[in-house]
Amino acid sequence: MALSSSLFTGTSGLKNMGNAMQVVGNNISNVNTVGFKRGRSTFADTLYESVATQAGTDQMGRGMSIGEVGQNFSQGSFESTGNTTDLSIGGDGFFIVRQRQTENNFYTRAGNFYFDKNGQFVNPEGYVVQGWDLDEETGEDTGAIKDLVLEAFTSSPEKSSKVTSITNLDADAVSKSVVLSNNWDSGEETHMEGTNYEYQTVVKAYDSLGSTHDITIYYDKKSGTEWEYAVACDPEEDNRNLVQGTDSKGLLARGSIQFSESSGDILNMTMSEFTGRLGNFKANGVNTADNINYKIVNYEKAALDGYGFSFEFDGSSWSFTDPNNDGVITPDEKPENYTNATIVYSDNQEIQLALDPDSPTDREPDIRIKLDQPAVATDSLGFDINNKNDMHVQGIEGTQYFGDTANDNTTLEINEPNVMTHDSKDLGIVWNPTEEQWYWSNPEIANSAGTLVTDLGTNNSGNISTDTSDVRVQDAAPMSMYSDDINLRYNGNLGAWDWNMPLKTEDIVNQAFDFTPANDPVLSVETAGSQGAIASVDGAGDQEPIVLDWDGSNWTVGGGGELNTSVIAGGSDETQVQLGIWDDTIGSSSEGSVIQYTFGSSLDTTTAAIDSIEFEIDPSPPQEYPDAVVTPGENPAGNPSDGIGIDFNDDTITDIYFDTDSGGTPGNGNTFSFDTNPNVPPAEYSDATLRGDQTEAIIDLDGSGNESDNEDIRFTFTDPLKFGGSTHPYNDRSEIDFDIIGSTSWSPIDKSEITQSGYFSFTTDFLGGDFGSTENEIELDIGTVYDGINFVNDSMSTTQFAKASSTVFQDADGYAAGDLQSVDIASDGVITGVYSNGELIPLFRVGLAKFLNNYGLSNEGGNLFSETRDSGTAITNKPGENGLGTLSPNSLEMSNADISEEFVNMITTQRGFQANSKTVTTTDEMMQTVINMKR
């Protein structure tokens, strides 16, 4: 029994040494296998046999067996391959691959992967690598772990949502435009002439189909540290519905930038968006103005201004707003130029409006309106229609300068064009140098309002009518200056009216002097008294000339007809003569005027020779109207009367007629007075205010009076205007005439609307979808962001420095369509697609798995392992997290088998095998001896 056991003991050694040699051979054969983990065999003695000995029972060995064939999971060396999709794991973990057509997952350290023809990320055996899809925008993982499959080899285009333009604007530049955006003309080959702006820069933006479009930003300096800008695109590419058929196509937005005087950094910014033919959008109810979409179907019908379209919803249909709440909408209650406008269809989400139906049965809409949300009762909306010509223009045109404002002495600034919402023609402002004040000069407007001629008064014992109904203005335009107390007197001898204004030097006419010798007298006139006027009449035969005689010691006066005159005692001698002159209806010379002659040398006092002065008085018109003449009275029926006609500009046409004799026949010496007051603001801007001095005139059109908004229009004068003490305010006056061109196509964006994004945005539509479906909001980033309180500048922002204007940086998000050219794989497993359009788009993330017991994995061949009960369930996560290693692209992990170590193992295994073979052969010889004993 013992010899047989010895034989089997040797045999077990031979067998298991052979198995160990197989493990060594397998390691050597896989010395270049990617990701291979070498095996290691360990031996164990077998169950021992108990035998009886003298000492009792002992045990004897029965040979050996393979205790374990395990794998060594130590890190193998990395080999650089130059192939992006070759991956190696630096640290713990396994790649996860799934066998096709099954739900079986396997695990491997061999990262020799590639994309097959179906876009699947696979290993050489076709097993699909597992991981996560990534969000293209954020790069975050989405969904559960899955097959990594590249389903599209092209990158879809992305429309632009922001353009960035960082510039420096030359602090030494000068203004080239009053309002920059007014110079745009899409009908011209050059849409904005270079002489109208300081600098321009162009940024390319993308539409939703990936086409590029030039966004041009024009800059011009307004004054000091304030600049204005305009944003535009190629008119041929502007497909916004509301700008078609106009010279405003391509104009997108405008605004202003305020810089710091000391640092040149941005302090403030504004923007107004250009809306087009429709503007001044209003909404009240469930839909905001942004939730209402407009489409003009017939452009020809919407060619004129139409302000104040307003609609209300009663719960079932829309109607024009009823201003009088009488249930009837008359044509005059609809916007001017669109009095026939009719709603041809409406429901809670649509209005179809015909602007001028050809017949009562014409149901074709010219404007269609769609609401995002169904309307409810009491909802309302409104808008304006703007004339298609120059509807982007908000400014002043037709300026004419008179007096000191002429000859390039005046500079016009428009600081807030957005308040110019309506056209207003034939406006004027006048500087009165005597009163040192600016007045409106709008006689036509004042006449329409019934305020042009005011304060009618008489001194006539009730013989003259002052009823305003007896006033007929035939031409208001010449009454362009404010004039207080224009006074006339009735001459009963002539049966005519003449001026009765304060006596002036130029009223003394036909002067004759009889001096020996000549004394070069100097004339002066001073008006005194509460009335400030004298009753003076024309010296053409109806009044005797006034004669002053010097007899060597005294002055005497003669002539003058009905005038009361006297030489003023104490004011007359051989050096001067003072003559008091007053109306016979005035009590004394203290309430009249004083005419004084001062002599170059004293008169002769030694002889009785008579020296004399002779002159006549020709009353002159008000100083505000030096050319005015009184014309023969003519009543409204065209018959001669004792009324008063006045031709203010001496063009032979009576401008105003007073039917004074309707209250009775005027008597000799009766007076009539009135004021002309054209000092009214434009009818379209009734709250406008006017102020200024000899250096500037300032108009606040909306009457806000706010410190930041009270200089909407500003005229400045290089040389100050005449001012103070002038006796000829008409001749010394200065006047500015102009027209206001208005529009409601500009929609100012309030800062509260950009609190969330921090950037102003404008609207483009390069594709022309229905009801604005292809419109795109693009933010404008000039290097500053609004934080809800202030504008905060980035590290790189637009500046105003004293160097040439230039573009520092520009960019736009969005991109065109592109083809996949390659992929990049990062250490965290993110696979990024590199496309021909220059975009880098996150595609996938490779997942890794780890096990609590790697040694419990089952080796499935093909460099694959599968989980077992001993290994535990796979724990998946991102590379670099939860104890997992990171990835190294362009490399593969090689076998961790060391050939020198394996050769040593081979030698020791071989020697063991040889030793065991000796046990067998020796035992065989011993058995042979036993057999020979029988012989």
Given a contact cutoff of 8 angstroms between Cβ atoms, the answer to whether 811 and 782 are in contact is no
Of 39, 41, 40, the C-alpha closest to 66 is 41
- Which is more confidently placed, 815 or 758? 758
Task: Report, as an integer, the average pLDDT of 143-149.
Answer: 91
Least confident of 85-89, 318-322, 607-611: 607-611
Output the pLDDT for position 540.
39
pLDDT of residue 632: 74
The per-residue pLDDT for 249 is: 96
Stretch 442-466: mean pLDDT: 83
Radius of gyration for the chain, computed over Cα atoms and rounded to the nearest angstrom: 53
Choose from 528-537, 661-670, 886-895 the range with maximum mean pLDDT. Answer: 886-895
Q: What is the model's pLDDT at position 129?
A: 95
Structural contact between residues 716 and 223, judged by C-beta atoms closer than 8 angstroms: no
Kind of pairing between the strands at 555-558 and 564-567:
unpaired
Checking if the pLDDT of 607 tops 70, the result is no
- pLDDT-based confidence at residue 714 (cuts at 50, 70, 90): very high
What's the pLDDT at 641? 65
pLDDT band at 50 (very low <50, low <70, confident <90, very high): low
The answer to whether residues 305 and 423 touch, using CB atoms and an 8 Å cutoff, is: yes
pLDDT at 114: 93
Mean predicted confidence (pLDDT) in 881-908 = 85
Q: Is pLDDT of 477 > 60?
A: yes
Percent of the chain with pLDDT over 70: 91
Q: Can you give the pLDDT at residue 551?
A: 85
Higher pLDDT pick, 496 / 336: 336
pLDDT score of 678 more than 50: yes
- Looking at residue 534, what is its pLDDT? 45
Alpha carbons within 13 angstroms on the beta-carbon side of residue 141 total 16
Instruction: Specify the range with the lowest mean pLDDT, choosing from 25-29, 151-155, 722-726, 795-799.
Output: 722-726
* Residues pairing with 315 in the sheet: none
pLDDT of residue 532: 35
Q: In this model, does residue 810 exceed pLDDT 80?
A: yes
**What's the mean pLDDT in 316-329?**
92
Question: What phi and psi values does residue 729 have, to the nearest 5 degrees?
Answer: -65, -25
pLDDT of 539 higher than 50: no
pLDDT at 520 over 90: no
CA distance to 30, 476, 559, 816, 852, per residue, from 157 (Å): 48, 65, 102, 4, 46
Residue 533 has a pLDDT of: 40
Nearest to 830 by CA among 99, 60, 49, 136: 136
**Mean pLDDT value of segment 509-528:** 82
Average pLDDT estimate for 444-460: 88
Q: Which of 214-228, 345-359, 510-524, 907-921 has the lowest mean pLDDT?
A: 907-921
Percent above pLDDT 90 for the chain = 53
Q: Is the pLDDT of residue 634 over 80?
A: no
pLDDT score of 289: 93
Note the pLDDT of residue 2.
65
Predicted confidence at residue 708, as pLDDT, reads 54
Task: Give 615's Cβ-side CA count (13 Å radius).
Answer: 19
Q: Of 65-79, 166-180, 664-678, 781-795, which gets the smallest average pLDDT?
A: 65-79
**Residue 636: pLDDT band by 50, 70, 90 thresholds?**
low
More confident residue, 222 or 632: 222
Q: What is the model's pLDDT at position 570?
A: 81
Choose among 8, 41, 9: nearest CA to 22: 41
Q: What is the mean pLDDT of residues 230-249?
A: 96
Q: How far apart are CA 434 and CA 145, in angstroms?
A: 89
Question: What's residue 68's pLDDT?
Answer: 73
Report yes or no: 207 and 215 within 8 Å, Cβ to Cβ.
no
Rounded Cα gap, residues 15 and 588, in angstroms: 158
**Most confident residue range from 303-312, 648-657, 862-871:** 303-312
Name the residue with higher pLDDT: 249 or 61: 249
* Cβ–Cβ under 8 Å, residues 399 and 715: no
Note every long-range contact of 191-196, with CB atoms under 8 Å and residues 24 or more positions apart, other chains counting. Answer: 191/232, 191/235, 191/250, 192/216, 192/218, 192/230, 192/232, 196/220
Report pLDDT for 462: 59
Query: Nearest to residue 98, comparing CAs of 133, 125, 132?
Result: 125
Which residue reads 């020809």 in tokens? 300
Task: Tokens for 293, please give them.
Answer: 């979409």
Quickly tell me which residue has 């052979």 as its tokens. 18
pLDDT of the residue at 530: 36
pLDDT at 43: 74
Residue that wins the pLDDT comparison between 289 and 491: 289
> Which amino acid makes up residue 391?
M
pLDDT digits 0-9 by tens, 814-845: 888 888 888 999 999 999 999 888 888 899 99
Quote the mean pLDDT of the chain: 87
Q: Which residues of 742-760 are buried (b: 16+ CB within 10 A; e: fewer)?
A: bbbbbbebeeeebeeeebb
